[in-house]
Amino acid sequence: MERRRAPDPRSGRGSPPVALEVDTVNRRLAFGFEPLVRGYRETRQFGRILVRLRPYLKPHYRRLGLAMASTIGFTIVTLLEPWPLQILFDTVLLKRKLRVHVPGLDLHFLSQLAPHTVLVTSVSAVLLLALLRGQFYYLQSVLAATAGQDVVMSMRRELFAQFQRLSLSFHRRAHAGDLLMRLTGDILLLREMVVNAIINIMSHALVVTGMIVVMLRMDASLTLVAVGLAPVLFLCLLSFRVRLVEAAHRQRKREGVLASTAHEVLQGIQIVQANTAEHYENQRFKEMNRRSLRASLNSARLEAQLNRVVLVLIAAGLGSVLWLGAERVLAGRLSPGQLLVFLAYVQSFYKPLRTLSKMTERMAKATACGTRVLEVLESVPEIHDLPHAVVPQRVEGRITLRGVGMSYGEGPPVLRDVTLDIAPGEKVALVGPTGAGKSTLLALVPRFYDPTEGEILLDGVPIRSIRLRFLRRQISFLTQDATILGDPVRDNIAYGAIDREGAPPSAIEIELAARAARAHEFIQELSQGYDTVVGERGATLSGGQRQRIAIARALLRRAPVLLLDEPMTGLDPISERDVLEAIENL
């Protein structure tokens, strides 16, 4: 029988098994430390969100200071609450000599009082402490909630302004429903982070610290047994928090998709009904709703699992303290009243930990929401002013294109080497098949997009070097689908002059613009004339009526450059004739 030789260590043979074993150990170590690493990353993200919120908190420092003062008062009252029980238990019920260790207070005179007097005093102290605790909690909660609401309101304003600053390319990629979810639901959950992170966590930290100090003065060994559970509990919370944040991210993302789908269907309800697609949309919404429900249930399961682990660990710690404390009472080293106070402190010590376990899920959601909001706030608009952008003194309206090329992202070119010169007052029509790039070319003039090649000039000045706000003031843009707001007709027309220099348009100006746009007659026939509130996106108006209101809006704008992007699309011959006459007035 052939004998196998042992591998020679010097030859390098046999090293693969050793390398495999080392790799396995490294993977196990990485797996063991992965929750800590991910928890550290999530904690840094949480801290980054709080730092980002600091400018919003600055105006509320005084209010938050009062909330913290209430928190300190709440902490002191909470630490004093168990002591009337010990006095009552030892002095009145067991007739023992009073042994009270309250730092800074000498309560031995209570042993000389009549039992009935001690009883009345103890009960009165319990009621007084409860009243003070409730009042401090009320002030703390109301002040923190008020600051949180103001912070959320300020942040919502900035987020809405950021939505308007971001370029069209961002909005074309994003889903409107998801953006609305960030503006409403995600912002509201951030209030949980502001209130809980700044006030509640600090309140619990003060209570826990004070209880540890008092318990150490009462019995150091029992205190070590009670506090020894905290590191284990912290590791469990850290591990679960990472999974809860990931689950919250998935849940908020799926809720955003759900909101986008509902928004899309409701916005195109006419198409849905015309194609009898109600059943299909119901099934599609049902499937997305099911996915959102699964993500929500996953978060609920993780929260329940965390709560179960926390309750078991707390019960183990409380049982250990009760066992050792009872032995000390039997040995005469503690009085029954002192053990009662110590157990009350231990329960109160664990209560913030239980609260923290419940807060972990909410804070995980708030962190996920904060991340989604920061994604938008920290997005840099692709179209923005250059550092030395100028404001021309006068604009005549000459548009020049020099070798302009355009492509969307990594897609094929839409425009190639377009060169054009349009004099002020000149009318130029762009003719070509669908998809030739006519709308894209028009969108380049007000810098909704920037060309990938060449340049565009306004009166000989490159439009990239002109301040964006000023540039767009010089342009009236009529699109294929005229956008009408769900406001009175008067406000829809005046919207064109909302950023115009000087006084806002008068009622006479608005009516003159409507007459020039051939819109005055049908407006007068509406139920309340110019004060009639039209439906969302002008649903109560015909296509021709919407276009004529848009033309009246453009007339009020008084811009030297007019861009028309197929304004006759979908109009009947009579409406087309009216719109053409209105355009002639432009």
Phi, psi of 351 (to 5 degrees): -60, -45
Residue 41 CA: distances (Å) to CA of 247, 367, 431, 580: 16, 12, 55, 61
For residue 26, pLDDT beyond 50: no
Select from 457, 481, 326 the least CA-distant residue to 396: 457
Helix (H) or strand (E) holding 562: strand 561-564
Select from 307, 313, 311 the least CA-distant residue to 232: 313
Q: Are residues 217 and 279 in the same domain?
A: yes
CA 377 – CA 365 distance, rounded (Å)? 18
CA 479 – CA 442 distance, rounded (Å)? 10
Question: Which has the higher per-residue pLDDT, 148 or 353?
Answer: 148
pLDDT in tens, 235-286: 777 677 667 767 777 777 777 777 777 777 776 676 676 666 777 778 878 8
Q: Are residues 114 and 236 in the same domain?
A: yes
Q: Are residues 219 and 77 in the same domain?
A: yes
pLDDT band for position 313 (50/70/90)? confident
Q: Using CA atoms of 304, 306, 307, 310 in order, give the dihedral in degrees to the nearest 10.
A: 160
pLDDT of residue 7: 45
Model's pTM, two decimal places? 0.65
Q: Are residues 81 and 169 in the same domain?
A: yes
Cβ atoms 71, 137 nearer than 8 A: no
Q: Distance from CA of residue 240 to its chain's centroid? A: 22
Question: Which has the higher per-residue pLDDT, 376 or 333?
Answer: 376
Least confident of 67-81, 151-165, 199-213, 390-404: 199-213
Return the DSSP state at 183: I
The amino acid at residue 571 is: L
Question: Which has the higher per-residue pLDDT, 509 or 194?
Answer: 509
For residue 342, pLDDT beyond 50: yes
Residue 397 CA: distances (Å) to CA of 422, 445, 456, 458, 560: 8, 11, 12, 7, 5
What is the domain range of residue 162?
A: 40-377
For residue 300, pLDDT beyond 80: no
Cβ atoms 544, 560 nearer than 8 A: no
Q: Token digits for 287? A: 């499937």
- Domain membership of residue 99 (yes or no) is yes
Task: Report how far apart the first and last C-alpha atoms of the chain are (Å, whole number).
Answer: 105
- Domain endpoint, select from 377, 404, 428: 377
For residue 434, pLDDT beyond 70: yes
Between strands 399-407 and 453-458, the pairing is antiparallel
Phi, psi of 490 (to 5 degrees): -55, -45
Number of alpha carbons in the 13 Å side-chain half-sphere of residue 384: 9
Return the DSSP state at 458: E
Q: Rounded to 5, what percent of the chain is helix, strand, coil?
A: 70, 5, 25
Q: Are residues 284 and 431 in the same domain?
A: no
pLDDT band for position 1 (50/70/90)? very low
For residue 459, pLDDT beyond 70: yes
For residue 101, pLDDT beyond 50: yes
pLDDT of residue 578: 66
Question: Which has the higher per-residue pLDDT, 280 or 454?
Answer: 454
CA 337 – CA 245 distance, rounded (Å)? 44
Mean pLDDT across 414-440: 86
Q: Are residues 430 and 483 in the same domain?
A: no
Q: Are residues 359 and 432 in the same domain?
A: no
- Max mean pLDDT among 196-205, 238-247, 303-312 falls in 303-312
pLDDT in tens, 523-573: 888 888 888 888 666 667 877 788 888 888 888 887 888 888 876 665 667
Q: What CATH number does residue 214 fall under?
A: 1.20.1560.10
CA 493 – CA 552 distance, rounded (Å)? 6
The average confidence (pLDDT) of the chain is 76
Least confident of 97-111, 288-302, 476-490, 567-581: 97-111
For residue 15, pLDDT beyond 50: no
- Domain membership of residue 1 (yes or no) is no
Q: What CATH number does residue 415 fall under?
A: 3.40.50.300
pLDDT of residue 545: 82
Q: CB burial class (10 A; 0-12, 13-18, 19+) of residue 462?
A: middle
Cβ atoms 549, 565 nearer than 8 A: no
Q: Are residues 296 and 327 in the same domain?
A: yes
CA 491 – CA 504 distance, rounded (Å)? 11
**Structural domains counted in the chain:** 3
Mean pLDDT across 66-80: 81
Q: pLDDT > 90: what percent of the chain?
A: 4
Residue that the structure tokens 């050793």 belong to:
18
- Max mean pLDDT among 19-23, 149-153, 360-364 falls in 149-153
Q: Are residues 316 and 339 in the same domain?
A: yes
pLDDT band for position 457 (50/70/90)? very high
Q: pLDDT > 70: what percent of the chain?
A: 76
Question: Which has the higher per-residue pLDDT, 135 or 103?
Answer: 135
